[in-house]
Amino acid sequence: MDRLTNWGPFRRLVGLRDQMDRLTQPWPIAPGYFGIEDENLPRAWVPLVDIRETPGTFEVSAELTAIDPSSLDVSVQNNTLTIRGKRKHVETGDDETLLRVERDYGAFERSLTLPRSVKPEDIEAIYKKGVLIISIPKRAEAGPKKIQVNILDE
| 78 and 62 share one domain | yes
Residues 32 and 82 in one domain: no
Q: Number of structural domains, the chain?
A: 2
- Same domain? For 14 and 71 the reply is no
Same domain, 33 and 70: no
Per-residue pLDDT of the chain (154 residues; tens, 9 = 90+): 455 555 666 666 677 777 777 666 655 444 444 444 455 555 567 888 999 999 899 999 999 988 888 999 999 998 899 999 998 887 778 888 888 878 888 899 999 999 888 998 999 999 999 999 999 999 887 567 788 888 887 6
pLDDT the model gives residue 32: 46
Beta-carbon contacts of 112 under 8 Å, excluding residues fewer than 6 positions away, are 49, 51, 60, 80, 81, 82
What is the extent of the structural domain holding 20? 10-44
**Residue 131 within any structural domain of the chain:** yes
pLDDT for 33 = 46
Residues 78 and 137 in one domain: yes
What is the rounded distance in angstroms from the CA atom of residue 64 to the CA atom of residue 51? 15
Based on the fold, state whether residues 85 and 55 are members of the same structural domain: yes
CB contact set of 120 (below 8 Å; sequence gap of 6+): 76, 79, 114, 136
Give yes or no: residues 26 and 54 share one domain: no
Structural domain contains residue 4: no
What pLDDT shows up at residue 143? Answer: 64
Predicted local confidence at residue 39, as pLDDT: 52
Q: How many Cβ atoms from other residues are within 10 Å of residue 132's Cβ?
A: 22
Q: Verify that 61 and 118 share a domain, yes or no.
A: yes
**105 part of a folded domain:** yes
- CA gap 64, 4 in Å, rounded: 56
* 84 and 104 both lie in a single domain: yes
Is the full-model pTM beyond 0.85?
no
